[in-house]
Amino acid sequence: MKQEEQIIRTEYSELMQKSYIDYAMSVIIARALPDVRDGLKPVQRRTLYDMHELGIRYDKPYRKSARIVGDTMGKYHPHGDSSIYGSLVVMAQDFKMGLPLVDGHGNFGSIEGDGAAAMRYTEARLQKITQEAYLADLDKNVVDFVPNFDETEKEPAVLPVKVPNLLINGAEGIAVGMTTNIPPHNFGEIIDGVIAYMKNPDINTAQMMKYVPGPDFPTGGIVSNRDELLGVYSTGTGKIKIRGKVEIEHGKGGKDRLVITEIPYTMIGANIGKFLNDVYSLVETKKTNDIVDITNQSSKEGIRIVIELRKGADAENLKNLLYKKTKLEDTFGVNMLAVVDGRPETMGIVPIIRHHVIFQYELATRKYTTLLAKEQEKKEIQEGLIKACDVIDLIIEILRGSKNIKEAKACLTEGITENIKFKSAESKKLAAQLRFTERQADAILEMRLYKLIGLEIEALLKDHEKTLANIARYEEILGSRAAMAKVIIKELEGYKKEYATPRKTAIENLDEVVVEEKKIEEMDVVFLMDRFGYAKTIDLNTYERNKEAADSENRYVLTCRNTDKICIFTNTGQMHLLKVLDLPFGKFRDKGIPIDNLSNYNSNEENFVYLCNLAAISHSRLIFGTKTAMLKVVDGSEFDVAKRTTAATKLTEKDEVLLVRRVEGNETLVMHSEKDFFLRIETSTIPEKKKGAVGVRGMKLGDGDYLKAMYLLASGDNVNLEVKGKEVALNRLHIGNRDTKGTKK
């Protein structure tokens, strides 16, 4: 009989909420954030474990990256190969990682942002430190193993990492609703910090920072806000200011050069190219005239960016300008977020080390428990063999008199002598007293005859002594936390001795850079813009010499100060501000720069309605007129704003600005509609409004009619228009009332 379908009704919003929370937690826990214990994200952990399983040790030949990626993806990480290879590449980059975990062979990218070669070309193997401190003891039951995605393999839930990798290599990751950004630190300093914590678990952040004074970036540089680091390391959040290292080299003839030898960690990759472009921009925008040339001479040996200066340049001031205006001084936003017991948590440096130490005790406990069990098993077997050597003749008699192994084993373990032929009753009586354990009996039955040689028996006794010593040592370690701490500290000191490197990043307290900007010499200039939107400025004398050509060839010509701003009013109701200083100042025949490049004006979406300098309108008034005949007058001071773009007026749907002009109040305004209605009114009848207002109606328009032009007439202006073959003199039109139909022509 067919089972009836069950329709489960559920609230859609609840279902979406649950599904999104599940997805978010999956990204947080199983993808983007590192575990506080081993400091690794799942993709890194799986890649390293797979390399360990493939036997790609530091002392074995390199293997193709494609093999590692494919094996990791097939066994443990069912995601894209690009994420696995990307993780492998980063773990091999010494400019990204404080302690590279992978030894890469081939093109693994560069500090300047060049990508790594395809994985079919590159090769990799584990670093020695990775093998010793990250993957050792996996065979000693030190961590839990969990089923992989299809339950065909087992993978470690966490790697038995013996150093605080989360702090040594740092971490960065974007999850859902949270991010982590932990700077790398110096290996030796972090080890010192862990040992200090183990000796004094009540250590506070300030005391810890005597051992770990701050981050140690692989790119070097200078941390300039040492006093703020205590707050960062206490809370786990904050900002670290980093500067590149700049040296001044003195050249011949008084020509100095600035040489950048270390860059901020945040500049790695494409930001080096951006920095070079920013320096070019400083020259182009005339922020400095001291730079003659800039070259990037960086190589595998290190960073070397050379800035050639002109003779007599102020190198110190220029260095400060670079810090102020480029990424040569940058901020590293710290957010020490990691997964703790399955939950994301933001921690300071001491809690991170505390979690690491708790993990170390757990690893050591499990390791020595496993080793103790093995030694005790070995002890049991050794004791059985030693005892067997003393009664070897009896054991041989038992074996020769037994019909099968089962009978012989029963006699050895339980003293059962039935069905076994003995040479004498005495032997049978002694055999009945035997009580070997199962393991001892198996070892006796498998023992080879050469083990009865005198020297072999001596070796067995020595091994037994060694086993007893190991058992005593392991029991002492497991029985005393102080003894276990001693073992962990000794191991950490060994790692420090072999792998610690000198600090690269300087930690200092530096004042905020002050740039002495040269005072701009104020002067009158003439702004020129041609019909294609190319603009420039020239001095007054040049304009006077070329006045006729300038007036005829340019759409806008106006005199202003070089410290002024140009206001661009458009038909969309926007006003764009443009600094006159941003415009090229030079010769009359220079081409200029498109207005689009220097302001937010977009020539594809907007049209010019009016262009003027800010100083000219700030103490006067502007009249606005739109296609739907909405009018208003606005005080010019309202347009003196800091924003590059502001709404100059409010427009209704499908409306656009037709007219923006300066008014004194004694002019007349002529409105000309598409259906050739004309209305002339006095501007004094138009009320003053705020720039955010729509305005008032200037003319009643018929259905489907709208204004196509407006004309502002001062007294004495004579403007004639041709309408349907007739000439209309606008200054002779009757002055009517605002908000009337006007006259048809």
- By annotation, the residues acting in catalysis are 121
What would you report as the CA-atom Rg of the chain, rounded to the nearest whole angstrom? 42
| CA proximity to 129, closest of 91, 157, 75 | 91
What is the spatial distance between Cα 554 and Cα 383, in angstroms, rounded to a whole number? 108
In whole angstroms, what is the distance from residue 656 CA to residue 472 CA?
A: 93
Q: How far is CA 231 from the centre of its chain?
A: 21
Q: Report how far residue 477's alpha carbon sits from residue 247's, in angstroms, rounded to the nearest whole number.
A: 53
Quick check: 166 and 182 in contact, CB under 8 A?
yes
In this structure, what DSSP letter does residue 147 have?
Answer: E
Q: What is the token pair recorded at 557?
A: 């010509």
Phi, then psi, of 356 in degrees rounded to 5: -65, -45
CA angle 100, 106, 109 (to 5 degrees): 65
Compute how many other C-beta atoms are within 10 angstroms of the C-beta atom of residue 385.
20
Nearest Cα residue to 166 out of 223, 225, 212: 212
Q: Is the dihedral of CA 206, 212, 213, 217 positive or negative?
A: negative
Q: Name the strand (E) or helix (H) holding 488.
A: helix 481-499
- Cβ count near 324 (within 10 Å): 15
What is 619-648 written as a DSSP string?
TSEEEEEETT-EEEEEEGGGG--SSSEEE-
Structure tokens at 597: 């490049």
Sequence-separated (6 or more) residues with CB below 8 Å from residue 726: 745
Q: Are strands 720-723 and 726-729 parallel, antiparallel or unpaired?
A: antiparallel
Terminal Cα-to-Cα distance of the chain (whole angstroms): 90
